[in-house]
Structure 1
Amino acid sequence: MGFRTTLVVTTFVLFLFLFGLRLTYTLPGYKLGSNPPPPRRRGSPTHLLIVLGSGGHTAEMFSLLHSFDPQSYHHRSYVVSKGDDFSSLKAIEFERSLVDSAASTTGRASDRTGSYSIHVVPRAREIHQPLLTTPVSALGCLWACLLMLRAKPRADVSATPDLILVNGPGTAVIVVFASLILRFLALDRSAWARVRRPTRTIYIESWARVKKLSLSGRILAGTGAVDRMLVQWEPLKGKAGAEWMGWMVK
């Protein structure tokens, strides 16, 4: 083996090693890397991204947010799939309820509820779509999610979410992987943060899942893609590192 060949092989092996090291550092489930940043100061600007799925996933998500304090997250971004008008309407209704609740408490309209935006992305897979063409549509959804995560919803809002909250729809898997790609490339830095705080992800398993994680849950837990995996039934406790929190829906 000549010197040039040895150099190429060594460079390639070194690249694979560094790539694997960076990937392991990126995946939240492996907890490898530097110590976590200091806690965020109370009242500092924060950006929450919520992924909504059609029907039951959306209804359960807003049930999970029954005691949500809008002052904790100054801006909420809702991600819905194309054609899912139900989820968009539910997000608008929820935001209106926050405003009404604040007004009834203070006796007047208030800006304490912050702001929100709704983002529509292509479906990762259409109903009855052939499996052969699914990778193409999934890549289209991934690209749209990458653009969405890098775009400012408002001029005064950081593009990068501080927290992504998901509960099982297929689009949620794509959104989480898109955030990991940005984390891998070190493009997930919040413009509001003085210190580096990568986007955190929390997956809450559906209340309907009693003994077995959903496909989305198994994918995200198996790849170590989320920071925390929360389940609502004790038989799921400890599976893929899941934390049992009891019933969270109301």
Structure 2
Amino acid sequence: IFVARTLYLLHTVRKTRQLKDPRTTTMPSLGNTTSKPLKTLVVLGSGGHTTEMLDLIKNLNPDRYGPIVLVVANTDTTSLQRVQAYPQPLPIQNKENLVSLESKCNTSSQQQQQQQVYRIPRSREVGQSYASSVLTTLRSFFFALWLVGIQIQPDLVLVNGPGTCLPIAVSAFFFRIIGWKTGTKIVFVESFCRVKSLSLTGKLLYPIADLFAVCWEQLQEKYPRTYLVTSFIPKSKSS
């Protein structure tokens, strides 16, 4: 039953992403057909991934996407500072105080209910061998199951390529397989620096993402079930 359900969902995702016109300028509604905003889980990665993600979410309408909950790796020491230092407005509550709020959320059960930042064990450290990363990835995945299925229960998972996002996205898809939080949508936006090929994370999540976006025409032509976007604003090939 589990295998049959998995194959069915993979087929459904593939069919949903069959675009009638690859030059479309209309982004799908991601299931938000009501006035209720989507609780959005955003994964931040170290380095350029965080900067690119902030460039994306600055365009999100807080009336449709919120609250925004951030997930970062437990060894990530810079992403939250990047959020605070971002020069433009972001649809994130208490953006200027995320670091202090995170520490407070660890001590007060009342504040934990409003927690905006969650830590997850990193799947693979920089320079770590792939063989040894199997155990760390499994540990991260089991933690992600609790985070996605119990603690946050997001309506939308928005990721853009860091390894930290892999267990989060897979967990969201897993709960759809077993019939728990079946409405959670997964959106993957490939990094701007990926011009000719997808990242490893992108290749792994390509079959399960409800919306898969790339920033370059070369990639969109190679992977036709993708959207060509710039900060969530699709680019027309005719332009």
For normalisation by structure 2, the TM-score amounts to 0.73
Shift of 1:41: 1.3
* 1:139 counterpart = 2:138: yes
Shift of 1:100: 10
**Corresponding letter in the other structure for 1:29:** V
- Asked whether the 8 Å contact 1:233–1:244 carries over to 2, the reply is no
- Asked whether the 8 Å contact 2:70–2:118 carries over to 1, the reply is yes
Instruction: Write the distance in 2 (CA, Å) between the matches of 1:229 and 1:178.
Output: 17
* Partner residue, 1:209: 194
Larger RCO: 1 or 2 (CA < 8 Å, sep 6+): 2
Runs of 4+ in 1 over 6 A off after TM superposition: none
* 1:88 counterpart = 2:87: no
* Partner residue, 1:121: 120
* Partner residue, 2:165: 172
Of 32, 46, 50, the match for 1:54 = 46
**Alignment map for 1:15-30 (pairs within 5 Å):** 18-27=1-10, 29-30=13-14
- Asked whether the 8 Å contact 2:9–2:177 carries over to 1, the reply is yes
Shift of 1:94: 5.8
* 1:71 counterpart = 2:66: no
- Asked whether the 8 Å contact 1:70–1:98 carries over to 2, the reply is no
Instruction: Write the distance in 1 (CA, Å) between the matches of 2:139 and 2:225.
Output: 30
* Partner residue, 2:34: 41
What are the superposed Cα offsets for residues 51-92 of structure 1, whole Å, 9 maximum, x if unpaired? 111010001110122322222223111110012121122345
- Quick check: which has more Rg, 1 or 2? 1
For normalisation by structure 1, the TM-score amounts to 0.70
Aligned residue pairs, count? 200
Instruction: Write the distance in 2 (CA, Å) between the matches of 1:149 and 1:41.
Output: 22
Q: Which structure shows the higher helix fraction?
A: 1
What are the superposed Cα offsets for residues 18-65 of structure 1, whole Å, 9 maximum, x if unpaired? 333211123353348xxx9975212x1420011111010001110122
Cα 1:227/1:67, change in 2 over 3 Å: same
- Asked whether the 8 Å contact 2:74–2:122 carries over to 1, the reply is yes
* Partner residue, 1:187: 180
What is the percentage of aligned positions where both structures have the same residue?
Answer: 30
Moved more, 52-61 or 90-99: 90-99
Shift of 1:132: 2.5
SS across alignment from 1:151: helix
Instruction: Write the distance in 1 (CA, Å) between the matches of 2:213 and 2:88.
Output: 28
Note the residue ranges of structure 2 that are not aligned, 5 or more in a row: 17-28, 94-113, 234-239
**Corresponding letter in the other structure for 1:60:** E
SS across alignment from 2:131: helix
Instruction: Write the distance in 1 (CA, Å) between the matches of 2:175 and 2:92.
Output: 36
Shift of 1:211: 1.5
SS across alignment from 2:59: coil
What are the superposed Cα offsets for residues 185-212 of structure 1, whole Å, 9 maximum, x if unpaired? 11225xxxxxxxx210111111111111
SS across alignment from 1:237: helix
* Partner residue, 1:199: 184
- Asked whether the 8 Å contact 1:236–1:244 carries over to 2, the reply is no
Cα 1:29/1:41, change in 2 over 3 Å: closer
* Partner residue, 2:111: none
* 1:233 counterpart = 2:216: yes
Cα 1:90/1:19, change in 2 over 3 Å: same
**Corresponding letter in the other structure for 1:30:** R
